[in-house]
Amino acid sequence: MRYMVMETHLAYAVVLGQDGSVLKVANRRYQVGEKVNDIIPMKVTGSADASEAVNRTDVREIKMSGRGRALKLMAVSAAAVLMFGAWGIYDFGFATYGSVYMTINPEVRIDMSRSDRIVDIDGINEDGETLVSGYNYAGKSLSQVIEELGVKAASMGYLERGGEIGLRIESESDRWTAEQQDELIYGAAERLSDSLKVTIEINGTEDTVVAPPETEPVTTAPETSAPEPETWVIEIPEVTPEPVETAAETTPAPVQTPASTQAPAPTKPPAPAPTQTQSPVPQPVPHQGDSGYGNSNYGDSAYGTSGHGSLAYGDSGYDGSGYGESGYDD
Amino acid sequence: MKDEHTIIKDVYAAKTDTDRADELIRRYLPFIKAEASRQTGRVCTEQDDEYSIAMMAFYEAILGYEKERGAFKGYASMLIRSRIIDYHRKETRHEGHASLYEERGDGDRTLADELCDDRDHIGERLGLEATQQEIEELSKVLSRAGVTFSDVADNCPRQERTMAACKKAMACGVKDKALLDEVERTGRLPLKRLSLASGVERKTLERHRRYILAMLLIHTNGYEIIRGHLRHMAVEKGGTAV
């Protein structure tokens, strides 16, 4: 077919074919009006025309069928992965997974994420709000926060030497509770009790028994621990020179309850009585008695929170890990 | 980076403005030449087809470039490369054929020089001038309607079926003297009339408005040579003009 050159540009020429087609072709030094046979047509034809632009996008969409579809699919799945990833990160680092309640007189709730990051700190009562106002917890660990809040409380006059700090850990997960308990026992409690000479009671909401403390109590006060489910006052640890502090450290599980009606300090021996009633287990061994308890009930209402602690004591045999369940079997 | 920014701006401006495109191409001639030479493996001169092809590929790159998809120069370079490869593939078909213009061993004479030439050079020259005049005239009429030949080329139907539909409409238009006059006078296409007369969807006509306009203008008075060029084809196929 012959083409008539209609217009020439530097890079291309417009030719009119004998069949009436008008094409852009490579300009091989053509001149207007010339008739040529052999053309090299341009493959992309763009234009400023809007409607033409629409046409072009249509074409591209049609072309998307093969590789484009695969790409699209990949993009979608990548987005899904990202979303789940983001959700996971949020869940792991930002969502509240458990809370630690710190009670001096000011009461403070510390919300923590699964990754042990502190999400929020709230004052529960007025004093608590005063205590936490202006306190920056960003990037700090739980022990650090507890410790600093303790010191702050002391400096604000809420906490006196020899006073008490109550810590309660609440979470859906027993394991997480146990972990936090461990951390508090070996971290904040130890340091706080050293520096402030205060008593710290740590109360897991569910199973309070923690393995590590057990050994010590056994040595110190084996008899006492065993029978009492309800009240635990651990003020006097024999291990350390300062009774108050050590007690706190050693016995995380037990609750020193000033509130509890039953004897606080001296209580150790009397414990058996309540246990028996509560625990169906006939054995003298204290843990078992505990196990019988509905752990949950324990803490707050009836027993004045103290009950848990006792478990720990009695069971020298318990492993830290097993704590919650093992007791039950019996 | 800054350089790249200005290129992008220029390229986007050149997409819609052929003058600016020419200017951009002119500015990048050394780049185009270098790319063409790199592909052909020898120094590329302005006489080479590869050079023309590289320029066209560069223009294609301007039209097809989207800045979200990378740097312009890389894209242009890639297009130049693939167009030259395409060309070379096509050319291999002619391997083993002697070129009329290839220089032979004895002196500078080419085969074409030695063959008997019965062409009427002077006649052709005159014919060419007449053709140029016609084209120039047509171009003027088109520009009054705000259309260039480049637009017409962009607007030309690519699918056979669409082309057939357009031709059907054009055949109706050519027969209608009054319509042709109106087109020539106003430079506008009476789409509705054309659609009713030919039975072609108005949307199709609208989409290829510029092409149809140019073709109908060719069929008004005064473009015998161009019309002859078109008719030649029609006669070969034994059909009617356009």
CATH of the domain at B75: 1.10.1740.10
- What is the pLDDT at residue A285? 47
Residue A134, domain member (yes or no):
no
Poorest-confidence range of A151-160, A190-199, A200-209? A200-209
Confidence at residue A183, expressed as pLDDT on a 0 to 100 scale = 77
Whether A65 and A35 map to the same domain: the answer is: no
So what's the pLDDT on residue B235? 35
**Reported confidence tier of residue A49, pLDDT bands at 50, 70, 90:** very low
Between these two residues, B22 and B4, which has the higher pLDDT value?
B22
pLDDT at A327 over 80: no
pLDDT at A13 over 80: yes
Pick among A42, A54, A58, A63 to test the B interface (most B CBs inside 10 A): A42
Q: What pLDDT is attached to residue A63?
A: 52
Report whether B233 contacts A17 (CB < 8 A): yes
B17 and B79 belong to one structural domain: yes
A58 at the B interface (CB within 8 A)?
Answer: no
Q: Is residue A137 part of a domain?
A: no
Tell me, yes or no, whether B60 and B141 share the same domain: no
- Domain boundary among the residues B42, B68, B92 is at B92
Q: State how far the Cα of B231 lies from the Cα of A20, in Å rounded to an integer.
A: 9
Question: Do A24 and A63 fall within a single domain?
Answer: no
Q: Do A1 and B233 touch (CB under 8 A)?
A: yes
Is residue A73 within 8 angstroms of chain B, CB to CB? Answer: no
Q: Has residue A242 got a pLDDT over 50?
A: no
Residue B30 has what pLDDT? 92
B55/A27 CB distance under 8 A: yes
Residue B103 β-bridge partners: B110
Does B221 map to a domain?
A: yes
Averaged pLDDT score across all residues of chain A: 65
Q: Pick from B21, B52, B232: which is nearest to A18 by CB?
A: B232
Task: List, as ranges, residues 111-140 from B with C-beta within 8 Å of A.
Answer: 128-129, 131-132, 134-136, 138-139
- Cβ of A32 within 8 Å of Cβ of B18? The answer is no
Q: State the virtual CA torsion across A217, A220, A223, A224 in degrees, nearest 10.
A: -70
Q: Is the CB of A14 inside 8 Å of chain B's CB atoms?
A: yes
In this prediction, residue A38 has a pLDDT band, given cuts at 50, 70 and 90, of confident
- Per-residue CA distances from B241 to A16, A40, B152, B237 (Å): 15, 26, 19, 10
Q: Hey, is the C-beta of A51 within 8 angstroms of any chain B C-beta?
A: yes
Cβ of B49 within 8 Å of Cβ of A28? The answer is yes
Write b or e for each residue in A48-84: b if 16 or more Cβ atoms lie within 10 A of its Cβ, otherwise e.
ebeebeeebeeeeeeeeeeeeeeeeeeeeeeeeeeee
pLDDT value of residue B31? 93
pLDDT greater than 90 at residue A200: no
CB contact under 8 A, B229 and A2: yes
Same domain flag for A86 and A196 = no
CB-CB neighbors (< 8 A) of B147 in chain A: none
Contact B56 A40 (CB under 8 A): yes
Closest residue, chain A, to B125 (C-alpha): A34
- For B16, the token pair is 């819609």
Q: Is the ipTM of this complex over 0.90?
A: no
Mean pLDDT of A13-38: 87
pLDDT band at A90 (very low <50, low <70, confident <90, very high): confident
What's residue B118's pLDDT? 66
Poorest-pLDDT segment among A253-267, B56-70, B202-216: A253-267
Structural domain boundaries enclosing A34: 3-45
- The residue-averaged pLDDT of B79-103 equals 80
Residue A195: inside a domain: yes
Which residues in chain A are closer than 8 Å to B136, comparing Cβ atoms? 32
Task: Check CB contact of B150 with chain A, cutoff 8 Å.
Answer: yes
Closest alpha carbon within chain B to A56: B64
Least confident of A166-170, A295-299, B88-92: A295-299
Asked if A50 has any chain B CB less than 8 Å from its own CB, the reply is: no
Q: Is B48 on the interface with A (CB under 8 A)?
A: no
Which one is predicted more confidently, A47 or A129?
A: A129
| Residue B178 forms part of a structural domain | yes
Q: Above 80 in pLDDT, residue B150?
A: yes
Give the pLDDT confidence score for residue B119 in this predicted structure. Answer: 67
Residue A10 is nearest to which of B22, B151, B207, comparing CB atoms? B22
Residues of A in contact with B139 (CB under 8 A): 6-7
Residues A89 and A165 occupy one common structural domain: no
- Asked whether residue B143 falls in the same domain as residue B227, the answer is yes
- Return the structure tokens found at A255: 């609750």
Structural domain of B73:
2-92
pLDDT over 70 (residue A39): yes
Report the pLDDT averaged over residues A292-300: 47
The last residue of a domain, from among B30, B61, B92: B92
Q: Do A70 and A24 share a domain, yes or no?
A: no
Q: What's the pLDDT score for residue B90?
A: 84
Contact A33 B215 (CB under 8 A): no
- The shortest CB-CB distance from A11 to any of B59, B232, B236 is to B59
Task: Count structural domains, chain B.
Answer: 2
**d(CA A14, nearest CA chain B) in Å:** 6
Write down how long chain B is: 242
Claim to verify: residue B73 and residue B153 sit in the same structural domain: no
Q: Pull the structure tokens for residue B99.
A: 């070129």
Contact state of A20 with B233 under an 8 Å Cβ cutoff: yes
Domain assignment present for B152 = yes
- What one-character DSSP code corresponds to residue B99? P
* Together in a domain, A201 and A74: no
Q: If 0-12 CB within 10 Å is exposed, 13-18 middle and 19+ buried, where does residue B50 land?
A: buried
**Are B135 and A6 within 8 A, CB to CB?**
yes
Residue A116 has pLDDT above 60, yes or no: yes
* pLDDT tier for residue A288 given thresholds of 50, 70 and 90: very low
Q: Tell me the chain B residues in contact with residue A27 when contact means C-beta distances shorter than 8 Å.
A: 52, 55-56
Is the same domain home to A208 and A311? yes
Mean pLDDT within B84-96: 82
Asked whether residue A301 falls in the same domain as residue A171, the answer is: yes
Query: Binning pLDDT at 50, 70 and 90, where does residue B196 land?
Result: confident
A72 and A179: one domain?
A: no
Q: Give the distance from residue B99's alpha carbon to the nearest chain A alpha carbon, in angstroms.
A: 14
Does residue A323 carry a pLDDT above 70? no
Q: A 190-209 residues with CB below 8 A of B?
A: none
From CA A104, how far away is CA A124, in angstroms rounded?
11
Is residue B138 a part of any domain in this protein? yes
The set of residues, in sequence order, having a beta carbon less than 8 Å from that of B159 and lying 6+ positions away, is: none
Residue A115 has pLDDT above 50, yes or no: yes
A320 to chain B nearest CA, in Å? 59
Question: Tokens at residue A6, please?
Answer: 């209609």
A226 domain-assigned:
yes
The residue with greater pLDDT, A276 or A199, is A199
- β-sheet bridge partners, residue A101: A109, A168
Q: What is the pLDDT of residue B183?
A: 85
Chain A contact probe: residue of B55, B56, B240 with most A CBs at under 10 A: B56
User: Do B173 and B75 sit in the same domain of this protein?
Assistant: no
Closest residue in A to B27 (Cα–Cα): A10
Amino acid B220: pLDDT: 82
Q: Which residues of B touch A53 (CB under 8 A)?
A: none
Tell me what the pLDDT averaged over chain B comes to.
Answer: 82
pLDDT at res. B102: 64
**Is B31 in CB contact (< 8 Å) with chain A?**
no
Provide the domain count of chain A: 3
Which of A29, A46, A51 faces B15 most closely, judged by CB atoms? A46
Which of A2, A15, A16 would you mutate first to test chain B, the one with the most B CBs within 10 A? A16
Q: What percent of chain A has pLDDT over 90?
A: 2
Contacts of A46 in chain B (CB under 8 A): 15, 62-64, 154
pLDDT at B76: 92
Span B189-193, average pLDDT: 86
